[in-house]
Structures are given as C-alpha cells and as structure tokens.
A and B are shown apart, each in its own frame.
Chain A
Amino acid sequence: NAGVMQNPRHLVRRRGQEARLRCSPMKGHSHVYWYRQLPEEGLKFMVYLQKENIIDESGMPKERFSAEFPKEGPSILRIQQVVRGDSAAYFCASSPLANYDLHKTQYFGPGTRLTVL
C-alpha cells in the first residue's frame, strides 16, 4: 500500500513563474491537506480538500495560491507569479473518510522543496 506521493520532490522557479505541486493521497483516503514549512519553523496549515471540494482554505494566502482535488487525478497546489518568499517545503497529508479517533491521524508525503531564484 503506497504512502502519500508528492512530485516533484524539488522544484526551482524564477520569480514570476508558476509552480505546480502534485499530491496523490494514500489509497482509500479522501481527505487531503496541504502544509508549508519555512526554514526553522513548524508546519503551517494551508488548505483542506475533499474530492472536488475545498473545505477550508483559511491558511492559504489570498492571492496567487490556489488548490484543487479533482474527481480523477492528484491534488494540485498552484502558486502563480512566485516570489522569493514562497521558497519553502510544501507537504501534503491525507486521512481516511471516517472521523473517529483512529482516523484523525494525517499521513504525510515526502514534500516538495520549492526554491525561487
């Protein structure tokens, strides 16, 4: 049973370009979360999605950032017109549908390290 998959693992962009980060949740998981980790900091929640629905995007910057989780295919975190401050590690996590204690655990992918030159 494959874990959470993210690609690419490393992404380099110049200022003003677009960055697309992909996340495939664990098999059987229908909840996807995106987090961002800046250097020497903890992970910060960005957005929570279910298939075809954004449930909570309260942690997402209002401009340039968007996320989707289509019916088919991976979840995508899209950053338009990247700036140097977007350089960070972006982690995706997934969890199953059920909401009892055992399934409150989120399982993380290996992350995408975005570097903006």
Chain B
Amino acid sequence: DQQVKQNSPSLSVQEGRISILNCDYTNSMFDYFLWYKKYPAEGPTFLISISSIKDKNEDGRFTVFLNKSAKHLSLHIVPSQPGDSAVYFCAASYSIQGAQKLVFGQGTRLTINP
C-alpha cells in the first residue's frame, strides 16, 4: 500500500527553466509534508516543508504547493541549475504516540541539462 507516490521516476529539464516535481498521497492523517534531495552515496538533505494548514511555502528558488482536496503536492525549482541534478523524495508525516513518522515516495531523478 503506497501511501505516498511519485509517479515520475525521472525528469529532464533545461538549465534556467522551471522544474516541477509532483507527489500524491492517500492518507488524510498526514499533517506535514517535506521534500528531500539526495545525491548518490549520501543521505537525504532537507529542502523545504509545508504544514497542512498552508497551501504554499517559498524558500529562494524552491516553492512547495499543497492541494489538500486533491491530496497533491508539488515542488517548483526556478531557475533550475546543474547542481539541482539529484533524486528528489517527497515525504509525508503524521504524529502517532509522540512519534513523527515519515512516509517517503519512491523518488524522482531530476537531470538539469546545460
């Protein structure tokens, strides 16, 4: 039962253009959403997050949008840079018995072409 889905395993974008990564979830209990970036042989690096009470959060070139009715979130990177090439994971979080459990999508490999 895949509660968090990233349906695009890969995405290729021209440098300077906008990269849009998508994520869908099924569990209404999720109250916090995060995007992580991962390079090979490294741990995931936190990028940006959004609470379920908001619909947009922006940090520099990164913006996360949340559509609760559609159970959909997206990460926009603009302008895209070659250093953005990595695997991006979305994660959804909910609290249970004091634990903040993260459920990850399968990841989308983003390639920025010069």
**A and B part of one assembly:** yes
Give the interface of A toward B (CB within 8 A): 4, 6, 31, 33, 35, 40-45, 48, 55-56, 91, 93, 95, 99, 101, 104-111, 113
Q: Is B101 interfacial (CB 8 A cutoff)?
A: yes
A43 vs B46: C-alpha distance when bound (angstroms): 14
Given known A42-B105, A42-B107, contact A104–B42 (CB-CB < 8 A): no
Look across to chain A and name the residue whose beta carbon is closest to the beta carbon of B48.
Answer: A105
B32:A101 contact, CB within 8 angstroms: yes
State the majority secondary structure of interface residues on B. Answer: strand
Look across to chain A and name the residue whose beta carbon is closest to the beta carbon of B94.
Answer: A104
A-B pairs, top 9 by smallest CB distance, nearest first, are A42-B104, A108-B43, A48-B99, A56-B99, A43-B104, A42-B106, A110-B43, A108-B44, A104-B32
Q: Is B27 interfacial (CB 8 A cutoff)?
A: no
Q: Is B95 interfacial (CB 8 A cutoff)?
A: yes
A99:B101 contact, CB within 8 angstroms: no
Look across to chain A and name the residue whose beta carbon is closest to the beta carbon of B44.
Answer: A108
Give the interface of B toward A (CB within 8 A): 4, 6, 32, 34, 36, 41-46, 49, 51, 89, 91, 93, 95-107
Cβ of A48: which chain B residues have Cβ within 8 Å of it? 99, 101
B42:A110 contact, CB within 8 angstroms: yes
Cβ of B36: which chain A residues have Cβ within 8 Å of it? 108
Cβ of A6: which chain B residues have Cβ within 8 Å of it? 43
A84 vs B42: C-alpha distance when bound (angstroms): 22
Given known A44-B104, A106-B100, contact A99–B95 (CB-CB < 8 A): yes
Taking a contact as CB atoms closer than 8 A, the residue among B45, B51, B100, B107 that contacts A99 in the complex is B100
Q: Which of A6, A105, A110 has the most CB of B within 10 A?
A: A105
- Pairs A–B under 8 Å by Cβ, sample size 6: A35-B102, A43-B44, A91-B43, A99-B95, A99-B100, A111-B41
